[in-house]
Structure formats: structure tokens, C-alpha cells
Amino acid sequence: MTGSEKQTVHFTANCTVLLAFFVALFFPLGYFAISYQYAVGSLETEAEINAGIISGLGDLVPGSWHSEAHRLDALLSQHNPTQKEKHRILDALGNELAVRGDHPDAPVILRSQPIHYGDKVIGSVEISRSLRPILKKSLLVGIIGLSIAVIVFILLPFRAINRANRQLRDSYDFLRKVMESSANALIVLNLDGTIGMLNGRCTETSGYTAEELLGKGLPELVCPESRDMVIKQLHLVATGAEDLVHFEADLLCKDGSTVTIACGATPVYQEKRIAGTVLSIVNITERRMAVEALRSAKEYTENLIQAASVIILGLDLKGKVTLFNRTAEEVTGYSQEELAGQNWFETVMGAEAFYKMCVAPPQGKDTQRMDACEGQIVTKAGAMRTISWRNSTIIEKGVRIGTLCFGIDITEHRKIEAQLRHSQKMESIGQLAGGVAHDFNNMLSVMLGYAQLGQLETAEATPLWIYLHEIIKAGERSRDMVRKLLAFSRKEIISPRAVNLNEHCLETEKTLSRLIGEEVRFNFSPDPALWTVKIDPSQVDQILMNLAVNARDAMPDGGMLTIKTENVVVNEEFCDYRLDAKPGPYACLSVIDTGTGMDRELVKRIFEPFFTTKEVGRGTGLGLATVYGIVTQNGGFVDVESEPGQGTAFRIYLPSLTGEALPAVHNVPAALCGTGTVLVVEDDDMLRAMATQMLEKIGYRVIQAATPHVALSICGEPSHDIDLVLSDVIMPEMNGLDMARGITDLRPETKVLFMTGYSSDIIAKCGISADRELHYIQKPFDMEGLHAKIIEMRAAC
């Protein structure tokens, strides 16, 4: 029922009540008033008529009134026998002259009219009538009206009740339809908190029937953890403290399961008083699960973003930072709080990078494709880093809102690439050196060999001898150049032997002085009683050159380079702080400079391959790594002491050699004399002829073989007595190692001396290395060196 309908009903009821009161009260009064006015009017008229009749009597004089009383009595009008009336004629003094009728019952209506005789009033006619009949009739009318009012009062409530019941039934049906059509579960609670009304959604949600739910309290249906909260919220509504409350709870279903519900409660008012509470309940179990799944997915995504080992950066359309992960913080030095909302291209990168990373892709281009670019960033500490970016447009509801950037710090990669290119260049030089070494060494061997042979045929101090001597000197310098080139490329064949570091340092002093330059002063402090070590002398050269170059670069303004040798006995306590150290006696070679020095973090990395603090192009990062490899290969270890501004000291500890004498220095003997038969196996005719003549000049009998197969055939003939085989390594059809194995099978007592001009990597492919118990001599060689090597081999047999 609408408000206007309610007002109409109230107005109609009020009018009906007023009408009943009017009928009951005013209708009897009206009847009385009308009857009274009629009675008064009739009395006045009758009195006026009687007064007129008396005044019209011509023979009636005032003096004869009293004597004519009987006549006057006849003139009075006949009264109505049904009404008690009294008619009187009075003189001017009020004396009664004539009377008719009985005295009426009180109350009485009295009316009089004057009697005129000429211009004088000689008396009056007076008529009185009782009001009792009128009052009786008015009372009767009042009783009738009251009966009608009573009937109205009795019938009106029944009509109103019927109408109210009908309206209540309509309202209930309407409310029931509204509740049943609602998508939410609706519950009406009574004042005592019990369920008084509910819709079908409640039974669907809880599993209970309507009969089971009616009369129960809502707190009984929720989990114990939520019960106190539900009671508190419902109490706020029931007491009127809150007009609307919202809360969530876990509902216990009939089957024992729980569902999460969201409730909205509001009070119901009747006659301005709270009559109950209406609850709207929504099953939000799936919504909560979706929210939890979304929260978990968001948390997982955030953890994934933060744990990613690449830079993840979110930018809006203006280049302001919206996302910044932990790796980005580590690379840039900025925290997320410092950069959030800041313009990336004003803080970290240059403005030119904005067009590479944030400008929308051209029309028709795949907006989801990730574009790659590189750029320089400036860290918080001011360092420059090179970052490789992969950028993807962020689309939301079809609108581009920003850019998601994935970055990888490739600063070290770029440095390593540059170092690798430089290393590859050095490798190319080494390969070139190794490639030409064989042929160049063969030619040098022929030149040096024939020059020596020519000197033997020429008297000393003659011009020809001097010329040949200069040729030999030039050949030796060329030989040393090839060996240095191989040492530079680290492809020289390694031949460890007993070395006195003092003597070797003295031999290389001039070379080191030229290497470090005039700005750096050189000081050598040897220990006269220094123990010998076993190492390839060329490796000592590499150690000294690498450390000297590093020392020179650490002293750009000049300084002091000190090389010191000493004997050291390493104990267990010393080894506890040095992982590579082992107790024992060592010969210590120290290279000390007064340069810029290094901090501890830098010292930890100096032996890493390709790690360098020098500018690109000035260092490969392999020098100290080579030193470390050489030292550890020979059973030693390296100790470094350095402080910023205090210089650096490299101490090379090499195990002392006991029980092995230093090799004697071979001077040119007055007469070279050798005996025995040597089989020369060489595919190069010139070199084979030169080696043959050299051996024959020394005194050996020589058998030549151009190929390994010919050599094996010769060894297979019992008629040939062969004391030694001098063979090349790389030859057609068969390499020297395979040939040596065949010779060993045929003649186990025959030794093979390999001569080679190839580099170590090529020799290694043939299975020959310094670690094997094989003998070899490096081309080019002279007569003295060849003869000494043969004597050494024959003595070892």
C-alpha cells in the first residue's frame, strides 16, 4: 500500500467517526432546536391572534374588563388537549382577568402579546406551554441517533479489520514474492534474535529446511570463531545503535561443511519502534576463493618479479617509474622508494632513450612484441652500466598505459667480449706464430747449421769466419725471436728443469729494465744461498714479464720495482690462511712495486681469467691468470699483499729442488767427438742433409730416411746397428710418435730424439707433451746443443 493510499484510508476512517459523532450528538440537538422554535413560533402567533381579537372588540372598555371576565374567557382560543397549555388575559397591572387550561408541567414556554385600546396598552394575552413533550421526542431522537452511532462504531472496526487483514495479506504475499525472487538469502529476525522469516536461498545455502531454521538464532549457525562477532553486530542493530552493519562470517551447513557469507543487517521499525532485524546474506565462498587465488597470484607474481635475476622496470607514458624490482635496486643503487614516481629518463638514463623504450610502436606493428635495445645508465654511485633492454607495451582495456622493460646488465659481458676479441687477436698471432714456426725453424736450422759447418772449415779471425759468425748471431737472434713469440702466445713446448732463480733474474734484468721504462727504478735483491727449483725457464720469463708489466702500469708517475729472492720454510700455521699453500721448503720470488695498490675486494679477483682493471685494449686480463696457472702447475702458490696507495707485493713460492744438480753450461768444445750410428728421419731434404753433415762432422755414422716407413724398414734389418734415432715429429704418412712405437717394438734398446719446429698445441695433437718421458730438441739447434743432447740421452740409458 502506497503512502497516498494510506492517507486516504485514514481520512475515510476519520470522516466516518466524525459522522457517527454528529449523528449521535448534533441530530437530537437539532431536532430539539427545531421543535422548540416551532413551539415558540406557534405560541407567539396564537397570542398575537388572541390579542388582536380582543383589541377588535369595540364595546370593550378598560373599565368593564373585570365585569366582562366571562366574556373574555370565551374569547380565549381553544387549547390542544394533547398539550398542556394555559391561556390567560391580564390587565395592565398584571391581574388575571380570564384563564383557560391547566398549569403546564415544567419546563414551560411562555409567550405574551399586548392588548391595545387605541394608543394605550390595556392588558396582555399570555400563553404558556410545557416543553416536556419536545424533550421526550428529542430524547427519543437522541436514543435513535445514539443507536445509529453505536451501530456505526460497532461496524466500522470490523470493516477496518477486514481491510487491514486484506492489506496485511497482500503485503505478506508481496514481501514473500520479493524475498523469494531475491538472489540473496534473506532472514527476518525477531526481537529475541530468533529467525522468524526466511526465503528459499537460506535453505539452499545452509542445507537446512525452513522448519529447521525457524526459531533458531543466527549465532547458532555460524562457526565458533565468528559467533561473538556476529552477536555483537546484531546487538548494534537490535538496539538501534547502528542503522546498517556489514560483516562476514563462516556459516556451518547441515552437512558439516562451511561457507563464507557476507551479511548486511538493518532494523525493521513498527510504530517508530524496532520490531526486528532484516539480514541480507550472500554466499561469497567462491568470491573469497577467487580473491585468495588472486592475492596468491599477485603475491607469487610480486615474488617472481622481485626474485628475477634481470631488471624489471615499469614505466608510464611519461617515463615515470611504476615498478622496480630488487635486481634493479642492486644494479642502479637506488631503492624503489627513491625512484617511485620519478622520471626514469631524468634520473638514471638519458632523454634520448625515451624514444627507444616508451614511444608507441608504429601502426600495424604487433604491440605485444618485445623490442630490443641497449642503453647506458648512471648508477647512484655515478658508475656507468650497459643494459640490454627488452621492452613490451602495457595494454589495459585496449588502451596503452605504459611500458614493461626487462633489462640485463651486460657491462661485464661487453668487457669480456672486448677482452675476448683482444684474446682472439693474440690467439691469432699465436696461431700465426705456431704456423710459421716449423718452416721458419727449419730454415733457421739449415742456415745456422751450414754456417757452423762453414766456420769449422774456415780459419778463425779470417773475414769469411767473421762473416759466418755474424750470420750465426743473426740466426740465433731470429731463433730467440721465434721462441719469444711462442712464449708470448703460450704455445712454447715446456721443458721443466732445475733453475736458479737468481741467475735467471740476472739474465732478464736488462730485458725487464727496457720493459718497465726509465720512469721506474729497478732493484734486484738476491739471496746468495737460494735453493734451486724445477721449472721451465720460459715460464719464469712469463712470470717476471707479466708481473713487471702490471707493476709498471700501477706506477704511471714512476716508482720503484724490487725483485727479491729468499728461502722460506712454510709451516702449518702459514698454510691455514692460504688455500693453495702446503708446508715445506720454498724458494720465494717477490715482485714488489710502490704503485697505487688494490683493496681487498680487488685482490680476491685478480687471478680470475679476463678480469682486469685496465682500460679496454690495454690488458687482456690473462696475465695474472697465467702467472697463477704456471705457479700452481709447478706445485707452488702465490701470495699477494696490497693496500690502496701502499703498493703491491707478489710473492711466488716454488718448491725447492733437492738431489738434482743444475745443468752445466756447455761451452763450445775444442773438438766435438761422437761415436755410434744415428738414424736421421726427416721429410725435408735440406734439413735432413744439414743434420746428416752436422752429425758426421761430430763423428757419428749417419743413416738417412726420408719417411717413417723407410725408417721402420731400416730398423727391421738386423744388419744395421742403430744407437739413436733423430726424427722429426710431423711427417707425411705417419707421425714421429707412431714411428717411435714401431721402432720400440723392433729395437727396444734404441732411443728416439725428436726434433721439431712446431708449437706445443700442434705437438700435443701428436701425443707429445712435456709430461711424457720422451726426449726432444727444439729447432733450430746448433752442433753443440745436438751433441750435448745425444750425450745426455746415451748417458741416461
pLDDT in tens, 588-603: 999 999 988 888 878 7
On the question of pLDDT at 15 being above 90, the answer is no
State CA 546 to chain mean position distance: 47
Looking at residue 658, its pLDDT comes to: 72
Give the cell for residue 390. 627488452
Neighbours of 425 (CB within 10 A): 11
Looking at residue 701, its pLDDT comes to: 92
Q: For residues 164-176, give the mean pLDDT.
A: 79
Neighbours of 295 (CB within 10 A): 10
Comparison of pLDDT for 18 and 199, the residue scoring more: 199
CB 682 within 8 A of CB 688: yes
Residue 354 CA to residue 326 CA, distance in Å, equals: 22
- The 10s digit of each residue's pLDDT in 394-422 is 888 888 889 999 999 988 888 777 657 75
Looking at residue 9, its pLDDT comes to: 54
Q: For residues 187-198, give the mean pLDDT.
A: 88
Helix (H) / strand (E) containing 69 = helix 69-75
On the question of pLDDT at 711 being above 60, the answer is yes
Torsion angle defined by CA atoms of residues 441, 444, 450 and 454, in that order, rounded to the nearest 10 degrees: -150
- The 10s digit of each residue's pLDDT in 345-373 is 988 998 888 888 887 666 555 555 567 88
- The 10s digit of each residue's pLDDT in 36-78 is 777 777 778 877 777 777 776 645 555 555 555 556 666 565 5
On the question of pLDDT at 667 being above 50, the answer is no
Helix (H) / strand (E) containing 570 = strand 559-570
Looking at residue 488, its pLDDT comes to: 47
Neighbours of 747 (CB within 10 A): 19
Residue 45 CA to residue 431 CA, distance in Å, equals: 165
- The 10s digit of each residue's pLDDT in 524-564 is 999 999 999 998 887 888 888 888 888 888 888 889 899 99
CB 534 within 8 A of CB 497: yes
CB 288 within 8 A of CB 260: yes
Looking at residue 777, its pLDDT comes to: 83
Of 444-458, 514-528, 696-710, 750-764, highest mean pLDDT: 696-710
Looking at residue 226, its pLDDT comes to: 87
Q: For residues 282-307, give the mean pLDDT.
A: 87
All domains of the chain in start order, with CATH = 3-136 (3.30.450), 182-289 (3.30.450.20), 308-409 (3.30.450.20), 437-655 (3.30.565.10), 677-796 (3.40.50.2300)
On the question of pLDDT at 459 being above 80, the answer is yes
Question: DSSP states of 659-717 as a string?
Answer: S-PPPPP-PPPSS----SEEEEE-S-HHHHHHHHHHHHHHT-EEEEESSHHHHHHHHT-
What is the three-class DSSP state of 561?
strand
pTM of the predicted model as reported, rounded to 2 decimal places: 0.44
Looking at residue 771, its pLDDT comes to: 44
Residue 613 CA to residue 624 CA, distance in Å, equals: 12
Give the cell for residue 608. 680470475
Q: Name the nearest CA neighbour of 85 among 129, 133, 132.
A: 129
Looking at residue 617, its pLDDT comes to: 46
Q: For residues 759-765, give the mean pLDDT.
A: 56
- The 10s digit of each residue's pLDDT in 78-101 is 555 566 777 788 877 778 777 777
- The 10s digit of each residue's pLDDT in 638-662 is 888 988 888 999 999 999 987 554 4
Q: 623-657 burial, b for 16+ CB within 10 Å, e for fewer?
A: bbbbbbbbbeebbbbbbeebeeeebbbbbbbbbbb
On the question of pLDDT at 5 being above 60, the answer is no
Instruction: Look at phi and psi of residue 509 and say left if phi exceeds 0, alpha if psi is from -120 to 50, else beta.
Output: alpha
Looking at residue 666, its pLDDT comes to: 44
Per-residue confidence at 144, pLDDT binned at 50, 70, 90?
A: confident
Alpha helices in 191-284 (DSSP H): 200-206, 210-213, 224-238
Residue 198 CA to residue 200 CA, distance in Å, equals: 7
Mean pLDDT of the chain: 80
Question: DSSP states of 346-403 as a string?
Answer: HHTS-GGGHHHHTSPPPTTS-TTSPEEEEEEEE-TTS-EEEEEEEEEEEEETTEEEEE
State the number of CA atoms in the 13 A half-sphere of 674 facing the CB: 29
Looking at residue 564, its pLDDT comes to: 93
